């Protein structure tokens, strides 16, 4: 089996698909819908788009710095970017977010063969790692918008197959201290994965090493991603099998970000 060429890296291709979805969904929205609530209770759809737009602007700076062999901008450079986006009207946020995000994806695709190193939140990454890092945020926030107009919407399958294998990097940062402590064996479908979720004061998600768990959780990989991202509420939960632990115990650990 041959490896994908840089221009056809799965993470870059999935990021392109996620952008195309974002554009298609956004272009179908009326001005009134842009001002309605997105999935995050504190944000309108336009504000979710603003978040994606400011993130694309910051990611572009990280991309350009890496290509030039320079350090990325310091965190102090971010607040002015957020302020500019927050100051736009909802219609401007929607338009500019799609355009800015599209330019970022085009730049990543144009530099798919780069051997540069990029400083992303999880550490140094190559161009595929930069795309994968952006994909997790992008695909989930694109779902935040899509599900506001289609309650049956799910995260795109090509993104799910990649994001699910990077969840362990998030769990340690985002999980709240758990009242239920112990080892949960998490088995997913589409794609099939077998994880060990250890809950406690500090939680972790790793490959299942074997042994006897205190609890079991079986669910689609797409639902596991939304659980870790704090988006598996009762109204958006597919069939799930939980034994020895309640979904509400897990929801309390993963409250979203």
**Looking at residue 164, what DSSP letter applies?**
G
Which of 17 and 42 is assigned the larger pLDDT?
17
Cα separation values, 211 from 151, 180, 182, 198, Å: 38, 19, 13, 13
Residue 7 has pLDDT above 60, yes or no: no
**Structure tokens, 17:** 């698909």
Residue 72 has pLDDT above 70, yes or no: yes
pLDDT at 1: 35
Instruction: Please provide the average confidence, as pLDDT, over all residues in the chain.
Output: 94
Cα separation, 94 vs 102, in Å, equals 12
Residue 257 has pLDDT above 90, yes or no: no
Band of residue 41 on the pLDDT scale cut at 50, 70, 90: confident
pLDDT, tens only, 137-171: 999 999 999 999 999 999 999 999 999 999 998 99
pLDDT at 123: 85
Clarify whether residues 123 and 33 are in a common domain. yes
**Do residues 170 and 228 make contact, with C-beta atoms less than 8 angstroms apart?**
yes
β pairing state of 118-120 and 241-243: unpaired
CA angle 27, 31, 33 (to 5 degrees): 80
Single out the residue in 123, 153, 183 at which a domain terminates: 153
pLDDT at 40: 85
Single out the residue in 153, 176, 206 at which a domain terminates: 153
For the chain, the straight-line distance linking the first and the last C-alpha, in angstroms and rounded, comes to: 38
Overall residue count recorded for the chain in this entry: 257
Cis peptide before 38 (omega within 30 of 0): no
Clarify whether residues 136 and 39 are in a common domain. yes
Clarify whether residues 93 and 61 are in a common domain. yes
Which of 154 and 122 is assigned the larger pLDDT?
154
- Report yes or no on 159 lying in a domain: no
Instruction: Please compute the mean of the pLDDT values over residues 185-189 and round it to a whole number.
Output: 98
Report the domain count for the chain.
2
Q: Say what the pTM is.
A: 0.93
- Report yes or no on 221 lying in a domain: yes
Structural domain range at position 124: 6-153
Cα separation, 133 vs 121, in Å, equals 8
């Amino acid at each position: 089996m041959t490896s994908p060429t840089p221009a056809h890296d799965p993470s870059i291709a999935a990021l392109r698909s996620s952008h195309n979805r974002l554009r298609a969904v956004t272009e179908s929205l009326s001005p009134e819908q842009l001002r309605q609530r997105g999935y995050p209770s504190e944000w309108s759809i336009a504000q979710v788009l603003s978040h994606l737009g400011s993130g694309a602007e910051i990611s572009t700076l990280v991309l350009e710095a890496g290509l030039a062999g320079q350090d990325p901008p310091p965190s102090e450079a971010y607040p002015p970017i957020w302020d500019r986006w927050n100051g736009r009207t909802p219609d401007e946020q929607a338009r500019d977010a799609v355009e800015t995000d599209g330019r970022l994806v085009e730049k990543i695709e144009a530099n798919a063969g780069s051997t540069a190193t990029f400083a992303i939140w999880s550490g140094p990454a190559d161009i595929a790692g930069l795309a994968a890092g952006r994909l997790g945020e992008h695909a989930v926030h694109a779902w935040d918008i899509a599900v506001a107009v289609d309650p049956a919407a799910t995260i795109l399958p090509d993104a799910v197959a990649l994001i699910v294998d990077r969840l362990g990097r998030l769990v340690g940062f985002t999980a709240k201290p758990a009242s239920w402590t112990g080892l949960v064996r998490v088995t997913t479908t589409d794609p099939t994965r077998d994880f060990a979720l250890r809950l406690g004061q500090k939680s972790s998600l790793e490959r299942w090493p074997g042994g006897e768990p205190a609890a079991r959780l079986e669910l689609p990989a797409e639902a596991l991603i939304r659980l870790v991202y704090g988006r598996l509420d009762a109204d958006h939960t597919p069939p799930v099998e939980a034994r020895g632990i309640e979904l509400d115990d897990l929801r309390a650990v993963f409250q979203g970000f």
